[in-house]
């Protein structure tokens, strides 16, 4: 058994133990079948968004427009679905929108040399504004952004779980088992080595942001399927939309020595969903202490995973 496998076993054992304790303390609610389904269902959205961010961030593009992007994508998808295109419209609409949006920021960053962080901010402003403008136009005629009434299977059992399984397989395979994924990881870790090894850095980043865009689009699909509608947000508050997904991404980063990223994201998305679920079950007030707990969890994981950090940390 390698060191990594050992850590995995230990981690999962601790995780299971915590769950069992919570289960017992909650008098058998936490691990009940229905609750597990419930938690997993809530984990799907942050998971897809986090996978999307994984493909975008790993290459070094810290693109914060993801939240605005998925809101827009979900709405475009719903629009097409409601126009009679059904699931095909929903998925294609969302995915194409999200891919275009990621390409916009990616090209701002790579082609025009705008720092990725700024490109993300600019992109978020623009994407939010597009959706808000759309909502305004609709409201002027007493209409709303498209609500998804039918075709919501991808937000429910079993559709959401099939989606999750497919998403996991695809994310895992692309990230770990394709040249693109391998190159992406190399580019993210060390652009100089990658270039020396003949990797086309630019192409790698662009391609992986396209894949990231697909995942972001699907996360929009899942979100609007789950909730039925996605409202527009302005003032860069779309960042809040992805706060759970960002949390999951950061937690997955701190698990990187135990699990590869795609797996780590599954686990940490479930942890985040579980955190809110368990706290609700224990009667911790939502909107206040629950969020404080999430903040503390992230800091704690950060501290634990950087105990032996020697290098420069920004």
Partner 1 sequence: MKKQIVSAAIAAVMTVAIAGSSVMAADHKVGYNYLGAGAYSLSMLANNEKKVSDVLGQESLAVDDQFSVEQMVSDIENMINSGCDGVAAWLISDALCQQVSILCQNNGTYFALADKVATDEGVISLLKGNEYFAGACGPANEIYGSQLAEYALEQGWKTCIITSSAVGDATDTPRLEAFKSVFEAGGGEIVDELHADQQQDALPQIQDSLTAHGEVDVIYGTGSDYGVYACTALEDYPSFGTKVVTSGLDEAALELLNDENSPMAMVTGDCWMSGFFAAVFLQNALEGNTLKDADGKPIWIDDVQPFEVTPEKYPLYKKYFLDEFAYTDDEIKAMIGASYDEIVTIVHDYNLDNRLMAKYEAGIISADEMKEAGYEVG
Partner 2 sequence: MAEELLKITNLNKSFGMTHANNNICLTLEKGEIRCLAGENGSGKSTLTSIISGMQPFDDGSMVLNGKEYKPADPLEANARKVAMVVQELGVITALTGSMNIYLGQTDQFRRNGMVSTRAMGKAAEAIFDKWHIPKVPLGIPCAHLTMEQRKMVELARALDADPDLLILDEITQSLSHDTRKVIYELKDRFKQEGRSMIIISHDLEETVEISDSITILRDGEVVETVRSDGFTVDDLKQKMVGRKMEGDYYRTDTAPSYEESVLLDVKDLSLADGQLKNISLQLHKGEILGVCGLSDAGIHPLGSAIWGISDSKRSGLVKDGVTGKELKHPKDMIACGGSYLSKNRDEEGLMMEAEIRNNMYLPSMQELTGKMKFTSPAAVDRLAQKAYDDFDVKATSIHQPIGRLSGGNKQKINLGRWLVKDLNYIILDCPTRGVDVGVKAYIYSVLRKKKEEGVGILLITDELTEAIGMADRILVLKNGELAAEIERGEAFTESNIIEVMV
Partner 3 sequence: MTKKRVFNIEVLIPFIILAVMVVIFAVSTQGKLFTAASLRTLVKQTISLMIAGLGMLFVAAIGGCDITQGSLAGLCAAVTAFAATYSIPLAICLSILIGLVSGTFLGVVNAKFRVPSFMVSLAMMIGLRAMVSQVLGNNSVILPIPYLILDDFKVSVTVLLILIVVITYIFHYTAFGAGCQAIGENEKAVKFAGVHVDKFKIGAYAMSGLMTGIAAVFILARVGGSSNVIGLGFEMRIMMALYIGGVPVAGGFASKVYKVVVGAFIIQLLESGLLLSNVAGAMTQMIRGFVLLFVVFIMVRINKRARAAAGA
Give the whole-angstrom CA distance, residue 260 versus residue 263.
6
Token readout for 309 is 């950090």
Q: Of the listed pieces 5-13, 92-100, 204-212, 301-309, which binds partner 3 according to CB under 8 A?
A: 301-309
Give CA torsion, residues 13, 302, 174, 205, to 10 deg.
Answer: 180
Per-residue b/e over 31-68, b at no fewer than 16 CB within 10 Å? eeeebeeebbbbbbbbbbbbbbbbbbbbbbbebbbbbb
The answer to whether 124 contacts partner 1 (rule: CB under 8 A) is no
Token readout for 203 is 């192409």
Nearer to partner 1, 99 or 230 (CB): 230
Contacted by 38, from partner 3, partner 2, partner 1, none: CB < 5 to 8 Å by type? partner 1
For residues 130 to 159, the per-residue mask of contacts with partner 3, x marking binding by CB under 8 A and - elsewhere, is x-xx--x-----------------------
The answer to whether 163 contacts partner 1 (rule: CB under 8 A) is no
**Minimum distance of partner 1 from residue 168's CB (angstroms):** 20
CA angle 238, 240, 245 (to 5 degrees): 110
The answer to whether 28 contacts partner 3 (rule: CB under 8 A) is no
**Minimum distance of partner 3 from residue 114's CB (angstroms):** 5
Q: How many residues does the chain have?
A: 314
Give CA torsion, residues 59, 65, 67, 68, to 10 deg.
Answer: -150
Contacted by 189, from partner 2, partner 3, partner 1, none: CB < 5 to 8 Å by type? partner 2
The answer to whether 38 contacts partner 1 (rule: CB under 8 A) is yes
Nearer to partner 2, 58 or 102 (CB): 58
Nearer to partner 2, 3 or 27 (CB): 3
Give the whole-angstrom CA distance, residue 211 versus residue 239.
21
Query: Considering Cα of 107, then 111, then 116, then 119, what sign does the dihedral take?
Result: negative
Q: Which residues bind partner 1 (CB under 8 A)?
A: 26, 29, 32, 34-35, 38, 41-42, 129, 131-133, 135-136, 139-145, 147, 156-157, 223, 226-237, 240-241, 243, 273, 276-277, 280-281, 283, 285-288, 291
């Amino acid at each position: 058994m390698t060191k990594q496998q050992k850590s995995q076993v230990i981690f999962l054992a601790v995780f299971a133990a915590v769950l069992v304790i919570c289960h017992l303390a909650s008098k058998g609610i936490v691990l009940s079948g229905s609750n597990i389904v419930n938690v997993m269902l809530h984990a799907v959205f942050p998971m897809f968004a986090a996978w999307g961010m994984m493909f975008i961030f790993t290459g070094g593009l810290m693109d914060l427009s993801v939240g605005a992007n998925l809101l827009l994508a979900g709405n475009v998808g719903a629009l097409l679905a409601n126009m009679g295109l059904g699931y095909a419209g929903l998925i294609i609409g969302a995915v194409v929108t999200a891919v275009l949006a990621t390409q916009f920021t990616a090209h701002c960053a790579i082609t025009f040399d705008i720092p990725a962080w700024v490109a993300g901010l600019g992109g978020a402003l623009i994407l939010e504004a597009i959706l808000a403008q759309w909502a305004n136009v609709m409201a002027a005629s007493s209409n709303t952004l498209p609500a998804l009434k039918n075709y919501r299977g991808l937000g429910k059992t079993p559709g959401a779980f099939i989606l999750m399984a497919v998403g996991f397989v695809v994310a895992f395979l692309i990230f770990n088992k394709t040249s693109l994924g391998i190159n992406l990881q190399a580019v993210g870790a060390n652009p100089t080595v990658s270039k020396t090894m003949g990797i086309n850095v630019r192409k790698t980043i662009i391609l992986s942001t396209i894949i990231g865009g697909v995942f972001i689009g699907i996360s929009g699909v899942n979100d609007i399927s789950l909730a039925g509608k996605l409202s527009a947000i302005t003032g860069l508050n779309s960042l809040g939309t992805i706060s759970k997904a960002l949390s999951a991404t950061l937690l997955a980063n701190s698990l990187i020595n135990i699990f590869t990223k795609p797996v780590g994201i599954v686990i940490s998305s479930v942890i985040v969903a579980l955190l809110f679920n368990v706290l609700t079950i224990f009667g911790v007030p939502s909107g206040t202490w629950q969020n404080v707990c999430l903040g503390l969890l992230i800091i704690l994981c950060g501290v634990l995973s950087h105990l032996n950090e020697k290098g420069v940390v920004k």
